[in-house]
């Protein structure tokens, strides 16, 4: 009996313990709320409906504002605007937006707006809606002169882009590039500046001699470039508004690869005045020159890092061209590219995350980027004979020159290589693109 | 009998042989006289009882049957002895006759003395008888008185005795009654005790029975209990196994739907360009069993509005979440859960 009681007690104790454990287990599993981690986003671009803006008053001929916005967003590679013909309705204000319709169409955002002509100005009133959250995330007005609707459109694109992605838009930025046209037996080099979409291109310099390496000043008001107009490579600065040019580096030998410092007060230059191609810093105002590299091998194509403290440059001190990083001026350079025997023309992004460069692989030249944190190298272009990468100020896009049907063209890709958008080719070759800064 | 037969024999020869009878009678007479003489002489000093002396008054003494006491085994011898004796008896007769004459004289003297004595004695006796009668009367009166007394006493005694007996009887009866009552009481007591005993025994028996039954029940209960426990244990294990299986099934089902949801959300999520890999937004969502979204709440911000909005937009973009049809699995995992957005591979 006692034994039995003990057994029973023992048993009941065990049962209680078991029950306790089970309940604890159940409770812990019950407490542990399911957590689903999403670590990858959609491969495709964001669906957005840019509804043709309602218009009141005479609008200038040419592209509609909404069309330009749509093209801008498409070019970014991050958006996939809905064809207006598929839209169920064309609302121009909030009261006309039926989110269910847009959700049915799979749209994430809807941009509606109205354009009003008042005199020589066009006023735009536009609203951006998050279809799923059914919220207006942008509601603004903007205006421009009637012959600058593209400016207005790019501005709206920038605002939309920023509202959705959190990054500033770059659709109002300018591109500088060099075209090469051969008419008859003559070759003509033109330095041009255009909108990002290639529209409103204006020739800033025309020369029968090569023009190379245009570089934007941080304020977007000047360009620096190498011109062979004097028969030898000379670095000029060029005030775009006034067209005023200055010869800033005309040393014996090679004067090339200008790059503005973030503060706009100095230029990095590659000079061979001391017998070997080395990198110097030129203070524009004073003309003071400081040599930054000192090596028997070629050191060229210097570029400031995003903080303006160190420089990336190309050197063949290891036998072939590779990217080196001098974290501080005067510090020992550190090689950062090892993926192949040709890596050149480093272009760091504005966030200090990636460096883009020309990368040779299997006899082809691609644009690649390296993650500065983990050293991971990614080839981001599928084309061959790629050269002259230039990163958008927000780091999201990249423009580079490549060969297409025997001619050189410019291609814009998203920085991750997702989308490619070839600028409409001007006649002849287009080379040496330089992405202008965001001008506030 | 024997005496009677002998008497018959003796009478027959008397008729046949008269001399013999004569002799015999003579002899008998002599013997009788001798015997009477002897009997006179010997007990002189001893006073005779009155009745005997009164009988002796009769003239003819009766022959004594003592003769018959003689042995008759050898009659011849007896006869020879008889002859001798007859001769001797003749002698003796002659001497006896002399003796007798003398004795007659003596007897006469004695008789005379005796008569005188008897007269005196008679007188004395009569006087004594008178006295005796008086005394007898007095005695009788006394006796009557005493008898009356005694009778009275006796009556008294009898009465008393009667009373006593009655009392005794009453007492006896009372005692009897008492005894009976006592007996009855005892019987009742005994009966009671017996009944009590019986009841006690019955109770004891019942108690034992109950105890036995209880013990049996307990044993049965124990057996049942252990059976139940075994069954319960088996059932519990089965249930646990089933629960585990169900759990596993739910888990696998849950995982299946988790992966479906993950897939759908991945397709629906457009991480903004400003996203970085260290950004994490958590959104808690509540679903209906149909998979419809009831509520989505940002519980942990990434610090980047566009990122948070992209996550919220993704969460809200699914018109219907893929959820298990099994209600338990749904309730367990999908009624409310959290989705974490954390880009690991930015493009």
pLDDT at B4 (0 to 100): 47
Contact A376, B346 (CB under 8 A): no
* Residue entry with tokens 């008419």: A183
Count Cβ atoms below 10 Å from residue A104 Cβ, excluding itself: 12
Buried b (16+ CB within 10 A) or exposed e, A400-434: bbbebeeebbbbbbbbbbebbbbbebbebbbbbbb
pLDDT digits (tens, 9 = 90+) for B311-346: 999 999 888 899 988 888 888 889 999 999 998 866
Domain span including residue B125: 2-40+50-132
Q: CA dist A135 to A27, A309, B214, B274, Å?
A: 38, 43, 78, 21
- Among B240, B261, B272, B297, the strongest candidate for a mutation testing the A interface, having the largest count of A CBs within 10 A, is B272
pLDDT digits (tens, 9 = 90+) for A20-35: 555 555 444 444 678 8
Structure tokens at B182: 């006592």
pLDDT at B26 (0 to 100): 76
Chain A contact present for B269, CB below 8 A: yes
Q: Give a yes or no: residue B318 inside a domain.
A: no
pLDDT digits (tens, 9 = 90+) for A375-403: 999 898 888 889 999 999 988 889 999 98
Closest CA of chain B from A104, distance in Å:
9
Structure tokens at A192: 């041009």
pLDDT at A212 (0 to 100): 94
Q: Give a yes or no: residue B161 inside a domain.
A: no
How many A-B residue pairs are in contact by the CB < 8 A criterion?
A: 115
pLDDT in tens, chain B (347 residues): 444 444 444 444 444 556 677 777 777 777 666 665 555 544 445 555 555 444 544 455 454 444 455 555 666 677 777 777 777 777 777 777 877 787 777 777 777 777 777 788 778 777 877 877 787 788 778 777 777 877 787 778 778 878 877 887 888 788 888 888 888 888 888 888 888 888 888 888 888 888 888 888 888 777 777 777 888 888 888 888 887 887 788 778 888 899 899 999 988 898 888 888 889 999 999 999 999 999 999 999 999 999 999 999 999 988 889 998 888 888 888 999 999 999 886 65
Chain A residue with the nearest C-alpha to that of B297: A133
Q: Residues A175-186: what's their mean pLDDT? A: 88
pLDDT digits (tens, 9 = 90+) for A309-332: 999 999 999 989 999 999 998 899
- Give the model's confidence band at A1: pLDDT under 50 very low, under 70 low, under 90 confident, else very high: very low
Q: Residues A174-182: what's their mean pLDDT? A: 91
Contact B339 A35 (CB under 8 A): yes
Q: Which residues of chain A lie closer than 8 angstroms to B284, CB-CB?
A: 33
Contact A35 B340 (CB under 8 A): yes
Q: Which of A222, A192, A217, A196 is closest to A207 using CA atoms? A: A192
pLDDT at A429 (0 to 100): 87
pLDDT at B232 (0 to 100): 81
Q: Which of A112, A70, A69, A65 is closest to A90 using CA atoms? A: A112
Q: Which residues of chain B lie closer than 8 angstroms to A35, CB-CB?
A: 337-340
Contact B343 A41 (CB under 8 A): yes
Chain B contact present for A108, CB below 8 A: yes
Angle among Cα A217, A221, A226 to the nearest 5 degrees reads 55
pLDDT at B340 (0 to 100): 94
Contact A91, A432 (CB under 8 A): no
Comparing A153 with B50, the larger pLDDT belongs to: A153
pLDDT digits (tens, 9 = 90+) for A255-293: 999 999 999 999 999 999 988 899 999 999 999 999 999
Closest CA of chain B from A396, distance in Å:
7
Q: Which helix (H) or strand (E) holds A13?
A: helix A2-31
pLDDT at B6 (0 to 100): 46
d(CA A36, CA B268): 14
Q: Give a yes or no: residue B293 inside a domain.
A: no
Comparing A420 with B288, the larger pLDDT belongs to: B288
Contact B334, B290 (CB under 8 A): no
Residues 399-418 of A with CB under 8 A from B: 414, 416-418
pLDDT digits (tens, 9 = 90+) for B152-186: 877 787 788 788 778 878 887 888 888 888 888 88
Q: Is the pLDDT of residue A87 over 50?
A: yes
In total, how many domains does chain B have?
Answer: 1
pLDDT digits (tens, 9 = 90+) for A334-352: 999 998 889 999 999 988 9
* Whether the complex's predicted ipTM surpasses the cut of 0.85: no
- Give the model's confidence band at A232: pLDDT under 50 very low, under 70 low, under 90 confident, else very high: very high
Q: Residues A34-59: what's their mean pLDDT? A: 88
Chain B contact present for A133, CB below 8 A: yes
Q: Give a yes or no: residue B271 inside a domain.
A: no
Chain B residue with the nearest C-alpha to that of A396: B273
**Facing A166 at nearest CB: one of B240, B306, B337:** B306
- Among B270, B307, B317, B343, the strongest candidate for a mutation testing the A interface, having the largest count of A CBs within 10 A, is B270
Contact B347 A46 (CB under 8 A): no
Contact A166 B307 (CB under 8 A): yes
pLDDT at A419 (0 to 100): 67
Under DSSP, the state recorded for A283 is E
Closest CA of chain B from A167, distance in Å:
5
Q: Which residues of chain B lie closer than 8 angstroms to A26, CB-CB?
A: none
d(CA A416, CA A390): 14
pLDDT at B3 (0 to 100): 42
Q: Could you list the beta-strand ranges (E) of A184-262.
A: 186-195, 202-207, 211-216, 222-227, 234-239, 245-249, 255-260
pLDDT at A9 (0 to 100): 54
Closest CA of chain B from A142, distance in Å:
22
Chain B contact present for A373, CB below 8 A: no
Chain B residue with the nearest C-alpha to that of A414: B347
pLDDT at B200 (0 to 100): 82
pLDDT at B11 (0 to 100): 45
Q: Give a yes or no: residue B35 inside a domain.
A: yes
pLDDT at B58 (0 to 100): 47
pLDDT at B120 (0 to 100): 80
d(CA A417, CA B345): 13
d(CA A91, CA A52): 9
Residues 6+ apart with CB under 8 A from B337: A33, A34, A35, A36, B284, B285
- Among A5, A36, A46, A135, the strongest candidate for a mutation testing the B interface, having the largest count of B CBs within 10 A, is A36
Under DSSP, the state recorded for A84 is G
d(CA B311, CA B317): 10
Count Cβ atoms below 10 Å from residue B156 Cβ, excluding itself: 14
Q: Give a yes or no: residue B306 inside a domain.
A: no
Q: Give a yes or no: residue B104 inside a domain.
A: yes
Could you give all domains of chain A from N- to C-terminal order, each with its CATH number? 46-165 (3.40.50.10070), 174-435 (2.120.10.30)
Q: Give a yes or no: residue B112 inside a domain.
A: yes
d(CA A227, CA A189): 10
Structure tokens at A430: 């287009």
**Facing A41 at nearest CB: one of B258, B270, B319:** B270
């Amino acid at each position: 009996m006692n034994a039995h009681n003990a057994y029973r007690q023992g048993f009941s104790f065990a049962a209680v313990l078991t029950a306790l454990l089970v309940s604890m287990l159940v409770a812990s599993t019950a407490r542990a709320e399911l957590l689903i981690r999403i670590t990858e986003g959609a491969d495709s671009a964001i669906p957005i409906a840019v509804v043709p803006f309602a218009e009141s008053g005479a609008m200038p001929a040419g592209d509609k504002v909404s069309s330009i916005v749509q093209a801008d967003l498409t070019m970014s590679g991050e958006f996939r605007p809905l064809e207006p013909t598929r839209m169920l309705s064309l609302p121009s204000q909030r009261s006309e937006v039926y989110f269910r319709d847009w959700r049915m169409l799979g749209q994430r955002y809807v941009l509606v707006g109205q354009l009003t002509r008042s005199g020589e100005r066009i006023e735009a009133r536009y609203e951006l809606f998050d279809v799923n959250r059914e919220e207006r995330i942008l509601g603004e007005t903007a205006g421009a002169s009637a012959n600058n609707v593209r400016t207005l459109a790019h501005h709206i694109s920038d605002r939309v882009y920023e509202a959705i992605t959190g990054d500033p838009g770059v659709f109002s930025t300018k591109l500088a590039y060099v075209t090469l046209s051969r008419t008859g037996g003559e070759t003509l080099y033109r330095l041009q500046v255009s909108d990002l979409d290639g529209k409103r291109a204006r020739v800033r310099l025309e020369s029968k001699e090569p023009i190379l390496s245009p570089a934007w000043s941080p304020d977007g008001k000047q360009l620096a470039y190498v011109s062979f107009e004097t028969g030898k490579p000379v670095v000029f600065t060029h005030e775009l508004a006034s067209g005023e040019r200055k010869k800033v580096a005309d040393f014996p030998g090679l004067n090339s690869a200008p790059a503005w410092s973030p503060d706009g007060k100095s230029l990095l230059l590659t000079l061979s005045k001391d017998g070997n191609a080395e990198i110097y810093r030129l203070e524009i105002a004073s003309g003071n020159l400081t040599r930054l590299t000192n090596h028997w091998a070629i050191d060229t194509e210097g570029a400031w890092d995003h903080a303006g403290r160190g420089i990336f440059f190309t050197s063949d001190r290891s036998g072939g061209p590779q990217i080196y990083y001098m974290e501080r001026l005067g510090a020992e350079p550190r090689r950062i590219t090892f993926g192949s025997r040709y890596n050149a023309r480093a272009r760091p992004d504005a966030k200090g995350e990636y460096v883009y460069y020309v990368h040779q692989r299997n006899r082809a030249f691609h644009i690649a980027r390296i993650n500065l944190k983990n050293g991971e190298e990614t080839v981001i272009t599928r084309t061959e004979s790629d050269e002259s990468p230039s990163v958008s100020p927000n780091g999201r896009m990249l423009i580079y020159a490549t060969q297409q049907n025997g001619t050189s063209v410019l291609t814009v890709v998203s920085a991750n290589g997702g989308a490619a958008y070839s600028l409409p080719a001007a006649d002849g070759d287009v080379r040496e693109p330089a992405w202008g800064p965001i001008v506030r | 009998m024997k005496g009677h037969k002998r008497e018959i024999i003796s009478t027959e020869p008397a008729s046949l042989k008269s001399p013999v009878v004569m002799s015999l009678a003579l002899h008998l007479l002599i013997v009788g006289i001798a015997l009477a003489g002897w009997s006179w002489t010997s007990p002189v000093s001893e006073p005779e009882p009155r009745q005997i002396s009164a009988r002796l008054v009769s003239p003819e003494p009766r022959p004594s049957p003592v003769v018959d006491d003689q042995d008759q085994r050898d009659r011849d011898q007896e006869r020879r002895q008889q002859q001798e004796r007859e001769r001797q008896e003749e002698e003796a007769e002659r001497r006896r006759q002399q003796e007798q004459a003398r004795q007659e004289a003596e007897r006469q003297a004695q008789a005379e003395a005796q008569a005188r004595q008897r007269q005196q004695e008679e007188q004395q006796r009569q006087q004594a008888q008178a006295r005796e009668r008086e005394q007898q009367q007095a005695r009788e009166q006394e006796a009557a008185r005493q008898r009356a007394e005694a009778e009275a006493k006796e009556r008294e005694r009898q009465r008393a005795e009667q009373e006593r007996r009655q009392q005794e009887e009453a007492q006896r009866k009372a005692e009897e009654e008492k005894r009976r009552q006592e007996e009855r009481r005892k019987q009742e007591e005994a009966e009671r005790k017996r009944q009590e005993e019986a009841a006690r025994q019955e109770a004891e028996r019942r108690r034992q029975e109950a105890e036995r039954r209880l013990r049996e029940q307990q044993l049965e209960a124990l057996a049942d209990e252990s059976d139940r426990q075994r069954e319960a244990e088996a059932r519990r294990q089965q249930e646990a196994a089933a629960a585990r299986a169900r759990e596993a099934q739910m888990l696998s089902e849950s995982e299946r739907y988790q992966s479906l949801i993950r897939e759908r959300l991945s397709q629906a999520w457009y991480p903004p360009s400003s996203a970085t890999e260290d950004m994490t937004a958590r959104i808690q969502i509540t679903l209906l069993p149909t998979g419809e979204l009831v509520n989505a709440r940002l519980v942990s911000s990434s610090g980047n509005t566009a990122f948070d909005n992209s996550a919220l937009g993704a969460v809200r973009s699914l018109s219907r979440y893929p959820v298990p049809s099994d209600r338990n699995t749904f309730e367990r995992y999908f009624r409310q859960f959290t989705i974490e957005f954390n880009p690991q591979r930015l493009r």
